[in-house]
Amino acid sequence: MKVFFKIALVFAVMLSFAHAEAVETLNGAGATFPYPVYSAWAFDYSKVTGVQLNYQSIGSGGGIRQITERTVDFGASDAPLKAEQLLKDKLLQFPAVIGGVVPVANLENVNPGELKFDPDTLCKIYLGEIKTWNDNRITKLNPGLKLPSTDITVVYRSDGSGTTAIFTNYLSEVCPAWKEKVGAGTAVKFPVGIGGKGNEGVANYVKRTKGGFGYVEFAYAKQNKLDHVQMKNKAGHFVQPSFESFEDAAATADFDAKKDFYLWLVNAPGKNSWPIAGATFILLAKEKTDSNKKVVTFFDWSFKNGDKKATELVYVPLPKSLKDKIRGYWKANRLQ
């Protein structure tokens, strides 16, 4: 009995401590893609302010549903919502961080970053019209490279994902045939190829298959040392995927606070812009002013102090001009 009382006492003390601190918690749910950077920011933020963030990475669709039903303080989505939907569900929206999508190949005698692609070639490969690596539409762009006659094994994401949404939005933007035949979305009906589960699945298949060709998030292209390609952007320049080229895309793209930043960050007009990128977004419920202010304070702090952490995790921080636009948007909605 004595032991029992001791245990009960310990529990009582622990409970009272937990109660005394009464940790302030922000609840968020949504996209899996930004989860690592949000939790890294939240960890640093809680050390400074004591405010904790409970972020559940249940997927963008789930994030949108949960904020629409008002069960969380903020939702997160890789796909921006259109102004009409925001109006209908009384939501606010702003971008938080940027990710890039990089086409990668597995070719012998080709080093990462050597292979050059233009939008049309990329599209034709994914439509199944270009079937081998020595097709003259590819060799024409790469006169210095010896490309084999191997079949191109196209790899795509088998699971619904923001990565696929960015990639297919890019193809729809630059290639009318793609837009008409396939379209854009988190999961689409790919005309050719095999599906890998997750970025790791796609990276693994490309790595294993000679002549493999897929698309992965920037971080995976870096980590797996796959042959990433140079893309010809809207301005007609060939660019390498890098922090600078993603940031340039975000800085030159026309993010408009009046449209709640609705924009697919693809085919950005800048001279050095990487064309296949996307912002990931935060959604707030318009009427929940108190909790919104707390969420906004968190992201404001992260915008000021979190860039280094984001780059460490291979995310692209928002450029300063865009951060200022977002702060203006917060002020306009009386959240700051």
Partner 1 sequence: MARTVKKNPVDLVFSSVTAIASFTVILFIIGILYVLMKESSLAIKQFGVFRFLTSTDWNPVTESFGALTNIYGTAVTTILSLVMAVPIAIGIAVFVTEVSPNYLKGPISIAIELLAAIPSIIYGMWGLFTLSPIMGDYIEPFLKKTLGTIPLVNFLFQGTPMGIDLLTASVILSIMIIPFTASIARDSFNLTPDVVKESAYALGSTHWEVIKDVVLPYSKLGVFGGVVLSLGRAIGETMAVAFVLGNNHRITSSLLDAAATITVTLANEFAEADKDVYMSSLFYLALVLFVMSFITLAIAKYFLVKAERKYSR
Q: Can residue 36 be called a binding residue for partner 1 (CB under 8 A)?
A: no
Minimum distance from residue 160 beta carbon to partner 1 (Å): 3
Of 189 and 304, nearer to partner 1 (C-beta) is: 189
Minimum distance from residue 300 beta carbon to partner 1 (Å): 28
Minimum distance from residue 57 beta carbon to partner 1 (Å): 9
Other C-beta atoms within 10 Å of 159: how many? 16
Of 188 and 318, nearer to partner 1 (C-beta) is: 188
Binding mask 152-191 for partner 1 (x = CB under 8 A): -x----xxxxx-------------------xxxxxxxx--
What is the Cα–Cα distance from 242 to 109, expressed in whole angstroms? 22
Are the C-beta atoms of 29 and 62 separated by less than 8 Å? yes
Binding mask 292-331 for partner 1 (x = CB under 8 A): ----------------------------------------
Of 31 and 318, nearer to partner 1 (C-beta) is: 31
Q: Which residues of 24-46 are buried (b: 16+ CB within 10 A; e: fewer)?
A: eebbbbbbbbbbbbbebbbeebb
Q: 239 exposed, middle or buried (CB, 10 Å; 0-12, 13-18, 19+)?
A: buried
Of 6 and 225, nearer to partner 1 (C-beta) is: 225
Other C-beta atoms within 10 Å of 120: how many? 15
First to last CA, the chain: 56
Chosen residue from 196, 241, 275, 319 binding partner 1 by CB under 8 A: 196
Minimum distance from residue 146 beta carbon to partner 1 (Å): 23
Q: Can residue 148 be called a binding residue for partner 1 (CB under 8 A)?
A: no
Q: Can residue 195 be called a binding residue for partner 1 (CB under 8 A)?
A: yes
In the beta sheet, which residues pair with residue 98? 279, 316
Q: Can residue 208 be called a binding residue for partner 1 (CB under 8 A)?
A: yes
Residue 192 is encoded by which pair of tokens? 């050719």
Q: Can residue 216 be called a binding residue for partner 1 (CB under 8 A)?
A: no
What is the Cα–Cα distance from 106 to 113, expressed in whole angstroms? 12
Closest by CA to 98, choosing from 258, 317, 332, 329, is: 317
Q: Can residue 75 be called a binding residue for partner 1 (CB under 8 A)?
A: no
Q: Can residue 199 be called a binding residue for partner 1 (CB under 8 A)?
A: no
Rounded to whole angstroms, what are the CA distances from 42 to 64, 208, 325? 21, 37, 23
Q: Can residue 28 be called a binding residue for partner 1 (CB under 8 A)?
A: no
How many residues of this chain interact with partner 1, rule: CB under 8 A?
A: 32
Interface residues toward partner 1, by CB under 8 A = 32, 58-62, 64, 79, 151, 153, 158-162, 182-189, 194-197, 201, 204-205, 208-209
